[in-house]
Amino acid sequence: MVRILKIGGSILTDKSKPSCPRSMEIARIAREIAAAPFDLVLVHGAGSFGHVPAKKYGLPEAFSPEGLRVTHDSVLKLNELVVTALGRAGAMPLPVNPLGCTVLKDGRIDHMDLGPLKEMLHRGLIPVLHGDVAMDLTRGAGIVSGDQLVSYLAVALKADLAAIGTNVDGVLQGGIPVEAVTRSDLSGLDFGPGSGVDVTGGMKSKLLELLDLADMGIESQIFNAGREGSVMKALKGEHVGTVIRRSN
């Protein structure tokens, strides 16, 4: 069994302030993950560590070597905080930086070197990936979002479970979480403005990634990782948010 869990940058950081971690939330989520750590690939968003410098340097539209370096250096700092918190909670994490193993083409993942990641899983370790910059075969460079990593890894690793933890209770309509969403529901959904700086598309982008995943037979869910205990429940396969399903 392989499980893919993403924790959004909106939970781990204050996205309205540059490089501002939410240390208490990082520690709590690490404890919940450490209670069920096996066969898990963790992806986390870049939050204010990545989105703020990416916007400053015009990424991904502009090709800026300095912007790539500064943005990557920034997201590494958040990744270190997450990995350290997991270690303190009793898990066995190792960082996996997408810049070093991922190649994009037109902004989409063309291929990843998953050999080390698979060996980590085999040894009972938790690979911890994150939203990052990456080289692009057509554009020079781009941004690989945590959401895109979730969908790619779920397919490549034939995941049994995929979940994205955000700062809301799922896909909301009128402030109420929708129980399930299929592609046929997409046109009727209203996506309100997000909070903070986000260069990767917000909730609609998440849904599009997960709907593609559903089309390939892998259900997932979007849930509120800010609610205590929800991460642990999601890892156990419990319904704690909005399920993303294939259309009938």
How does 25-44 read in b/e, with b if 16+ C-beta sit within 10 Å?
Answer: bbebbbbbbbebbebbbbbb
Number of structural domains the chain divides into: 1
pLDDT tens by residue, the chain, 248 residues = 899 999 999 999 998 899 999 999 999 999 999 998 789 999 999 999 998 899 999 998 999 999 999 999 999 999 999 999 999 999 999 999 999 999 999 999 999 999 999 999 999 999 999 999 999 999 999 999 999 999 999 999 999 999 999 999 999 888 899 999 999 888 888 776 555 555 555 788 889 899 999 999 999 999 999 999 999 999 999 999 999 999 87
- The type of residue at 230 is S
CATH number (domain holding residue 49): 3.40.1160.10
- Residues 121 and 39 sit within 8 Å (Cβ to Cβ): yes
Give the pLDDT confidence score for residue 201 in this predicted structure: 58
Give the Cα-Cα-Cα angle 1, 121, 11 (nearest 5 degrees): 85
Residue 101 buriedness (CB in 10 A; 0-12 / 13-18 / 19+): middle
Cβ proximity of 224 and 241 under 8 Å: yes
What's the whole-model pTM score? 0.93
Alpha-carbon span 10 to 51, nearest angstrom:
11
Q: Which residue range forms the structural domain that includes residue 47?
A: 3-244
Distance, CA of 141 to chain centre = 19
